[in-house]
Amino acid sequence: MLVVDRAGGIVEANDAARTVLPDVTGGDGPYENLPDWLTEAHRHMTGGLGATWAEPPSGAIGGRHFEAHPRPGADGDVAWWLIDATDRHLAEETLRREQERAAILSEVSSTLLSSLNVPRCMEVTARLATRHLADAAVLVAPAQGRRHPVTYAQAHGPAVRVTRAVDPATVPGLAEALQGFPPVPTRWIDPGAIPAWAIPEGFEGPVGSVTVTPLPGHGVPAGALILLRSSTVRAFTESENVFARLFAARAGAALSAARLYTEQAAVTATLMQELLPPALGGVHGVDYAGGYRPAQDSERIGGDFYDVHPGADPSQESLVVLGDVAGKGLDAAVLTGKIRNTLHALLPLAHDHQHVLNLLNAALLTSRHTRFATLVLVSARHRAGRVRLRLTSAGHLPPLIVRADGRVEESGTRGNLVGAMPAVSVRTEETVLAPGETCLLYTDGITEARGGPLGGELYGVERLKRALAECAGMPAEAVVERVQMLAAQWLGQGRHDDMAVIAISAPRPRPLTVTGGDMHRGHSGNPGRSGRPGEPGVPGDPGTPHERHGRSA
Amino acid sequence: MTASGNATAGLRDRLWEAVLDGDAYTAADVLHAGLDDGHDRETLLLDVIGEVQAKVGVEWAADRITVAQEHAATAVNERVIATLTPRGPAGPGAGRTGRGRVTVACVDGEWHALPARLVAEVLQLRGWQVDYLGAQTPVPHLIAHLHRTDPYAVLLSSSVPTRLPAAHAAITACQAVGVPVMVGGRAFGPDGRYARAFGADRWAADARAAAAALETGFTAPDATAARQAVDDLPHLTDQEYTMVVQSRPQLVKQTLVDMEERFPALRRYTEAQRERTAEDLAHIVDFLATALYVDDAGLFTDFLTWTAGILEARRVPARSLLVGLDLLGGQLHDFPRATALLHAGTAAVTARPVRSAPDPEITTE
Amino acid sequence: MTTLPPEFGLDVITAPDVLTIEVVGDLDYETSDELLATVADHLTPDPAFQRLRLDFRGLTWIDSMGLSTLLMVHRRTSATGIALTLDNRPGFLQRMLDLTGTLDHFTATAEGEGEAADSGTGTGTGTGTGTGTGTG
């Protein structure tokens, strides 16, 4: 207990107070030898504010922590009872720090979990490290070839990503961390020996202390984190090193998940690249357009496919293929790839569809499964303004042909599916497209789209035919777009399978040149949906456009 | 229009003629003549092709062009864009100006690709590396793409208002992986009000605004603040949206039955005619549901007055819509927001001046 | 609310010489493995039946994986010398078999896989009794 007068002079101090503050009574001036926090508390009391704290004032005295409880005396004197609260203070400090650290770790996890992109994860890790652990952080990822991706971050600055050839051995403990060895104690690392590449550009002042922490991954290290503090800041404590390891564990797990995802996504992307339908256009006087809408189902890479293989020259037939593989996922994708590659190899034989299909069938047959494909082959050749087609269905929905007058014909070609039976027998059909006429190939994702105004109904071939009747004279892309649009409308919010469509059109000739395409001149082809006064006018009159948010950009 | 708009008026007229004819060659010639005249590609894309495409929609609504011409015109415009921006291995301006990588896509179920395509082309011309994912991009595919490429921003386009709930889902999904989202397209309202309601990081009125917004910069959204639809739109907890969407088939079926009861003449309809009627009713229900989703009567009344205009252009009396609204109201009377929307719709249609001849068979009661 | 598809189920009925499996519900990507497993369980090297009847009276839908599975069942039964019949085929199944050119294959005799014999051994009883459900 010590008594302090209004002016800050020490009036009295008992033995206990003198033990804690040995010099307290020896001073001359006001507040001399009083700890600052107590001085301030006294001024607060005597300044008229009184003892208005929620918590009693507290602070350090000689390495211990004290609370000061005031008792106002006569003449503005205050008797301060000092109570040693070191243990409680320590416990509270620890709790607060733990809570803070738990919050940081939770932030680290949720921030990192939201992204599966490796560079972004590295950036986030480095930035979070500078926010919570150090003045600067350098994340060194395992080498890709001879170069390491390195991400630099400093407090209040953006993260910088580079890939550079660096020698991990130049930073004590880094090579070990990247190999998954336990971290080297901070005190072994000489801050002066840190090479320039391991210090972010613009780092202020000499490096005061360094810690190198491995980022543990799935079995193999996900990288290492170099944390730097400038010499003006105190060195890393053991407790901070422990926390840095916890931080690194979280970051390493997230980084590894992102890396795993990226590797798998890269495999999928490579496959997809192979499997994605090609962009189509005009080839040798025939117009082609394709449309593909993958199932939302993310497990599904896609069992539908199409290709156009141009003839060697305009006098040669081009081969169009559209097909659908049974099943989904990687198994289906692998089979799709196999079919497309095999057909590519068989192009020289394309004049004989049945032969090609039997060779394909033989290539696909296996004792392990009966996974099959259905497909349509179309050989197309422009001749004198018209397009001659040879159509062959191998167990697939037969092509539909839209004539210039709006009639829609179903091709009579029939045949066996490929890949599950010993032999394939097909009936090829020939037809000729006049300018403005279109042959449509499609997969059952279109006709088996479930939805419609009454819900749960299949779109069906008949509706597709009715829709195509309105597509007379439209260019190939427009027919494809129309079919895709109607299918999308039919589906509404419903789930769906892959949907692939390809249109083969005989372009209307241009006055001077005879390649490429456009639609036939004049607006006569379709009387459109102009009013038919004779019909009852109610909502849904056939004259009412049901695609009413039609096209308007 | 702007000065460049006036300067390009002639080109627009010529392109309009060409697309109406489905003549991609003449269309390409028009644009290349524009290039020769010193117009830049961006001007041609936006002030010529974009404007002509907008006119296509207007002319179709007024029944001055057919569905076939409408689709053909779009196809011609797509072809012309391809000839206007020859694509190198990495796009004309990719990476050269050091601008970042962005993703452009249409919301799932949105088949109007042209507006998004124009934005993608313009951004590419301005030096961005653009991944254009095209029409109808399923959200899982979009998100997988974002994880793979970590773009600076994703631009989502939607023209059809009924795709707004899907757009909202796409916006929150993109933001949850830490990628900022800019949206555009007619669906978001003329002032972008739904973009704001859905918490999009930006809304762009057109392609130029989109490019400008990208150039001023973005901050990445807080990926940890994972939002769900109901956080943006608390009214969804009343379940009216959910209920209307889920019972759409029953609502349409019952309305058809009630209609036939009221107008026995409808029983003579062919299957195809009945289906058209059902589709039209389904459309009304879809827009009703969307209006419930965004809680905005304007979305529903705009749709109805627009539809009324389209019907009248085809000499179908607009008040025929009132029957459907009335019958739907009978089924939804327990749902206050839906009932209010149907009343607002009826009022909006009734307030229109009648333009067509009275229908002999049906009179409103 | 759309109604849930009927629960998939297989009813196995053993009779002298004939094993009947009634397929109820959708035979598709998710359910067809079950059919194959059930058939495999009964196709011992020396089975107690000469004929396997798949009864499709209760079939509500079939997708390409369902058909693939039927082809595998046929391959298995042919290998064991068992005759396979596909009975009470609904219209959509009949149409799928027609379209894919697999009908003859299924109705061919067990020994002659691949030779489209129409001896009628296994044509089943339900040809053409399709109800037409499920197609537009």
- Within a domain: B358: no
B41: in domain? yes
Instruction: Decide which of 3.20.20.370, 3.40.1260.10, 3.90.420.10, 3.30.750.24 is the CATH code for C9-112.
Output: 3.30.750.24
Residue where one domain finishes, among candidates B171, B198, B232? B232
Nearest to B53 by CA among B310, B183, B133, B44: B44
Q: Does A344 score more than 50 pLDDT?
A: yes
Model confidence pLDDT, tens digit, residues A267-301: 777 766 666 667 778 889 999 999 888 776 645 45
> Residue A464 — pLDDT band, cuts 50, 70, 90?
very high
Chain C CB contacts of A397 under 8 Å are: 99
Secondary structure (3-state) at A409: strand
pLDDT for B97 beyond 60: no
C80-98 residue pLDDT tens: 899 999 999 999 999 999 9
Do B104 and B27 sit in the same domain of this protein? no
Residue B27's pLDDT band (boundaries 50, 70, 90)?
A: very high
- What is the H or E stretch that residue C55 is in? strand C49-55
Query: Crossing angle of helices B9-20/B51-61, nearest 10°?
Result: 50
**In the structure, what pLDDT confidence band is assigned to residue B128 with cuts at 50, 70 and 90?**
very high
| Mean pLDDT, residues B135-150 taken together | 87
pLDDT > 70? residue C112: no
Considering the domain architecture, whether residues B294 and B200 belong to the same structural domain is answered as no
* Fold that domain A112-270 belongs to in CATH: Beta-Lactamase (3.30.450)
Cβ–Cβ < 8 Å for A393, A383: no
- Taking CB atoms and an 8 Å limit, are A457 and C136 in contact across chains? yes
- Residue of chain C nearest B250, judged by CA positions: C1
Q: Which helix (H) or strand (E) holds C65?
A: helix C64-80
Task: For chain C, list the contacting chains (3+ Cβ pairs, <8 Å).
Answer: A, B
Question: Residue A327: which pLDDT band, with cuts at 50, 70 and 90?
Answer: confident
> Does B105 or B111 have the greater pLDDT score?
B105
Q: What pLDDT band is residue C121 in, cutting at 50, 70 and 90?
A: very low
What integer pLDDT is reported at residue A553 of this predicted model? 35
Q: Which residues in chain B have their CB less than 8 angstroms from residue A530's CB?
A: 63, 314-315
What is the predicted ipTM? 0.81
Domain boundary among B180, B212, B232: B232
Helices of type H across A29-117: 36-44, 86-113
Tens of pLDDT, residue by residue over A380-415, are: 999 999 999 999 999 999 999 999 999 999 999 999
One-letter identity of residue B119: V
Q: What is the pLDDT of residues A20-36, one digit of tens each?
A: 888 777 667 788 788 88
pLDDT tier, B86 (very low <50, low <70, confident <90, very high otherwise): low
- Please tell me the least confidently modeled range out of A91-100, A487-496, B128-137, B218-227: B218-227
When divided into structural domains, chain B yields a total of: 3
Helix axes B297-313, B336-350, angle to 10 degrees: 40
Interface with chain A: mutation pick from C64, C77, C98, C109, highest number of A CBs within 10 Å: C64
DSSP structural state of residue B93: S
Q: Which residues of C touch B249 (CB under 8 A)?
A: 2
| Helix intervals (H) in chain B | 3-7, 9-20, 24-36, 41-43, 51-61, 67-84, 114-125, 139-149, 164-176, 193-197, 207-216, 229-232, 240-246, 248-262, 271-294, 297-313, 320-331, 336-350
Query: Cα(A479)–Cα(A470) distance, rounded to whole angstroms?
Result: 9
- Check residue B266 and give its pLDDT: 83
- pLDDT(A59) > 50: yes
User: Are residues B77 and B206 part of one domain?
Assistant: no
Q: What are phi and psi of C66, to 5 degrees?
A: -60, -45
- Which member of B68, B148, B323 has the closest CB to residue A525? B68
Whether B286 is in a domain gets the answer yes
B136 and B186 assigned to the same domain: yes
- A139-183 pLDDT, tens digit each: 999 988 889 999 999 987 888 999 999 999 999 889 988 988 888
* C-alpha span between A143 and A507 (Å, rounded): 55
Together in a domain, B166 and B294: no
Tell whether B346 is covered by a domain.
yes
What is the pLDDT, as a whole number, of residue A367?
A: 87
Of B8, B162, B16, B146, nearest in space to B76 by CA: B16
DSSP string, B238-274: G-HHHHHHHTHHHHHHHHHHHHHHH-GGGGG--HHHH
Please indicate, yes or no, whether residues B123 and B1 belong to a single structural domain of this protein. no
Taking CA–CA distances from B247, the nearest residue in chain C reads: C1
pLDDT above 80 for C123 = no
Give which of A345, A315, A344, A272 is closest to A498, Cα–Cα. Answer: A272
**Predicted local distance difference test score (pLDDT) of residue A515:** 39
Contacts of A396 in chain C (CB under 8 A): 99
pLDDT in tens, B321-359: 999 999 999 999 999 999 999 999 999 999 987 654 444
What is the interface size between A and B, counted as CB pairs within 8 Å? Answer: 274
Nearest C-alpha neighbor of B144 from the set A279, A274, A161, A266: A266
pLDDT on residue B271? 85
Task: Say if residue A428's pLDDT is above 90.
Answer: yes
Phi then psi for residue B184, to 5 deg, are: -160, 170
pLDDT at B13 over 80: yes
* Rounded mean pLDDT, A493-514: 77
CB contact under 8 A, A327 and C100: no
How many Å separate Cα A95 from the centre of its chain?
Answer: 38
Residues B205 and B174 both lie in one domain: yes
State the maximum Cα–Cα separation within chain C, in Å, rounded to a whole number: 49
Q: Give me the residues of C, 57-96, that contact B with CB < 8 A.
A: none
Mean of pLDDT values over B137-166: 91
Q: Which of A154, A202, A148 is nearest to A171 (CA)?
A: A148
pLDDT given for residue C61 in this prediction:
92
What pLDDT is attached to residue B331?
95
Considering only A59-63, B38-42, B316-320, C2-6, which range has the smallest mean pLDDT? C2-6
Listed in sequence order, the residues at least 6 apart from B13 whose beta carbon sits closer than 8 Å to its beta carbon are none
Taking the domains of chain A in order of start, what are their residue ranges?
2-84, 112-270, 279-505
pLDDT of residue A49: 75
d(CA A135, CA A190): 17
Residue A325 — φ and ψ, nearest 5°?
-100, 140
Name subunits touching B (3+ CB pairs < 8 A): A, C
Q: Region B218-245: what's the mean pLDDT?
A: 84
**Considering chain A, what is the average pLDDT of its residues?**
84
Residues of C contacting chain A (CB within 8 angstroms): 2-3, 29, 64-65, 67-69, 71-72, 75, 99-102, 105, 113-114, 116, 134-136
Query: How confident is the model at residue A99, as a pLDDT?
Result: 87
- Percent of chain B's residues with pLDDT above 70: 90
Give the residue from B166, B200, B232 where a domain finishes.
B232
Give the confidence band of B257 by pLDDT, cuts at 50, 70, 90.
very high
pLDDT in the model for residue B185: 94
Residue B264 and residue B225 share a domain: no
Residues 6+ apart with CB under 8 A from A422: A365, C113, C114
Architecture (CATH level 2) of domain A279-505 = 4-Layer Sandwich (3.60)
B365 domain-assigned: no
Per-residue pLDDT averaged across A97-123, rounded?
Answer: 86
Kindly report the nearest CA distance between residue C1 and chain B, in angstroms: 5
Measure the CA–CA gap between B35 and A287, rounded to whole angstroms: 27
Instruction: Give the distance, in angstroms, between the CA of residue A66 and the centroid of all CA atoms in the same chain.
Output: 54
- Highest mean pLDDT pick, A68-82, A91-105, A275-289, A450-464: A450-464
Sorting pLDDT into bands at 50, 70 and 90, what band is C44?
confident
The pLDDT of residue B223 is 65
Contacts of A167 (CB under 8 A, 6+ apart): none
Asked whether the beta carbons of residue A474 and residue B71 sit closer than 8 angstroms, the reply is yes
pLDDT at B164 over 80: yes
CA–CA distance, A256 with A214 (Å, rounded to integer)? 13
Token pair belonging to B36: 């020769």
Nearest CA of chain C to the CA of A434: how many Å?
Answer: 28
Q: Poorest-confidence range of A55-59, A413-417, B38-42, B222-226?
A: B222-226
What band does A498 get if pLDDT is binned at 50, 70 and 90?
Answer: confident
Q: Could you tell me if B106 and B219 lie in one domain?
A: yes
B94 within 8 A of B124, measured Cβ to Cβ = yes
Instruction: Tell me whether domains A112-270 and A279-505 share a fold.
Output: no
Mean pLDDT of all residues belonging to chain B: 87
* CB distance A115 to B177 below 8 Å: yes
Per-residue confidence at C77, pLDDT binned at 50, 70, 90? very high
Tell me how far apart the 2 most distant CA atoms of chain B are, in Å.
69
Domain of residue B166: give its range.
Answer: 90-232
Q: Does C1 touch chain B (CB under 8 A)?
A: yes
Co-location of B222 and B104 in the same domain: yes
Asked whether residue B365 carries a pLDDT value surpassing 80, the answer given is no
pLDDT top residue among A103 and B45: B45
Least-confidence region, from A84-93, A171-180, C106-115: C106-115
Whole-number mean pLDDT of chain C? 80
pLDDT (tens digit, 9 = 90+) per residue, A216-233? 887 778 999 999 998 877
Q: Which of A295, A536, A551 sits opposite B56 (nearest CB)?
A: A551
The residues pairing with A66 across neighbouring beta strands, listed in sequence order, are: A59, A84
> B4 falls in which pLDDT band (50, 70, 90)?
low
A–C interface: beta-carbon pairs under 8 A: 72
* In a shared domain, residues B154 and B108: yes
Q: In the sheet that B181-184 helps form, which strands lie side by side, from edge to edge? A: B129-134, B101-106, B153-157, B181-184, B202-204
Share of chain A above pLDDT 70, in %: 89
User: What is the crossing angle of helices A476-491 and A460-469, to 10°?
Assistant: 140
Q: Is the pLDDT of residue A551 over 50?
A: no
Would the pLDDT of A115 be above 60?
A: yes
